[in-house]
Structure 1
Amino acid sequence: MSQTVDFWVDSAAVVESAISSRKSVRAFTSQEVPRNVLQHLLEVASRAPSGTNTQPWKVYVLQGNSRSELVAKVCAAHDGLRADPGLADQYKEEYDYYPEKWASPYIDRRRENGWGLYGLLGIGKGDKEKMHLQQQRNYRFFDAPVGLMFTLNRVMGRGSLLDYGMFLQSLMVAAKARGLDTCPQAAWNGFASIVKPHIGASAQEMLVCGMALGYASASNPVNAFQTPRVAVNEFTNWLD
């Protein structure tokens, strides 16, 4: 009996460690991730729950030339948009990830996160050039060797985005358990008009997000950034 208890305690510690140590990594090494490892991670993630087992996720894995070519295309578009803001109409997100009008406490947390990261990187509030370059790191997958794109068939309802969140979290936790790190990226959504033709997605597919995956760079100070979390009692109502 003691051995059984010890096994479950050890298993719980491993799972909890993978969840609590997962964070968005913004600097990766060039170390490649074998395809069989990616295949395994996606198989594990596919056990995520979904309403009536619809399994609405569709994944595109970019490595090598496919990754490099997409990076070049979107970085060029990002630079072009900065030079001519009038191009914004060409780059629309396919769904509202963020609210149209922000309110507290969400805007406060967003600002805390943004300025905490920029402060670590030495980027001041008025330094538009450095801000632009840091934002563009998203479109380079933060140098990760693997880029992932996730799409959803438009026939599905909003509930499928809930299913998708569980799938993405499962993938990120499974990766962490294998010594890999990730960064989920909504930043790609505005460039869906470039991303989807590049990956061969149909017009019926909506880009949900991208993700960088690889081995974290231990020497890059950006990976020391740790986001805070509010206390449980701040978001929980206990009903007896």
Structure 2
Amino acid sequence: METALHDTARQLDAELREIDALPARLRHIAQAVPGRVAFSTSLGIEDQVVLAAIAAADADVDVFTLDTGRHFPETLETLDMSEARYGRQIRVVFPESDDVEQLVARDGIFGFRNSLEARRACCDVRKVRPLNRALQGASGWITGLRSGQATTRAEVPLASADTNLGLIKISPLGDWSLERIEAYADEHAVPRNPLHARGFPSIGCQPCTRAIEPGEDIRAGRWWWENAEHKECGLHSRPRAKGQAA
């Protein structure tokens, strides 16, 4: 089963590298991956560009976002703008209330700042578990990841096997630069989170995100009290299964 998943992912990766136009990539993904293909959007510029391409391709993709309960108001405004712009509903997935209540009772309302373990526990409850629920039964998972986004994302394949979830993880912007993404957003009037213009190139939960200073890494504002190599919430840094290629 795992071997077949890796083979399918490698083939899809090679096919996508032969396609330059982003809507054509999304159309190919929706057609090449059997079963439900889901796109998890954080509503940042990369994901907004992917959403625009999905709409342009009229691709059959289940679009959803994770509402952690701690988003900036501007992020929710971007969600509303995007639904109006593209005429499609974006499914909103929330954490389980019991999980959040138990987390806060144990660690406190800002307990995620006390230790790396506490922060990861918060991300697990508010992001990872809801993502796992949202992806249940899906064959493909589209993300807005791209190479060079951070030290933890030096190389991003266009398609890879996620053996933990049993699906193909697809990053159609994996080989795009930020400059190309911004140009696409300008050309196609893609709605943008207003925080991007205020020094927030990477936007997460409000208590865990600050604006960056000139010259800082674009993800320096995420969990700024931690070392750079720790700056992942767990959505894209799962342990590799035995035998899984890097």
Q: TM-score range by the shorter chain?
A: under 0.3
The two structures have a TM-score, normalised by structure 1, of 0.26
The two structures have a TM-score, normalised by structure 2, of 0.25
Structure having greater relative contact order (Cα 8 Å, sep ≥ 6): 1
Larger Rg: 1
